Structure 1
C-alpha cells in the first residue's frame, strides 16, 4: 500500500520511547514562568518520531 513504517520515520529519530521524566520536563517548562510568552505553537516531545511526509 504505502511505505513501510521503518521507512517513514525522520532520520533524527532517537529510536526509543521517551521516559516519564523527559515528558514531565516539557510539561514543567510549559507550566512555568519561562513559557509565559509562548502562544499558538506545538512543542513536539517525540524524540524525532515525526513522519517524513
Structure 2
C-alpha cells in the first residue's frame, strides 16, 4: 500500500512540475530561479522520505 501512495505522490509531483514549467515563461528570471530551487528541495525531500520508508 505504501508503494502505491509513494507512486501517486511522485506522479503528482511530476504533473505539478510540468504545469509550473508551462507557466514559467510568464514569470521573470528571478521568480523562475526561486521556483526551480524550491522544486529541487521538494524533490530531494520526497526522495529522502521514500528511501527512509523503504528501510
The normalised TM-score by structure 1 is 0.32
**Higher-helix-fraction structure:** 2
The normalised TM-score by structure 2 is 0.32
Name the structure, 1 or 2, with higher relative contact order (CA <8 Å, separation 6+).
Answer: 1
Larger Rg computed on CA atoms:
1
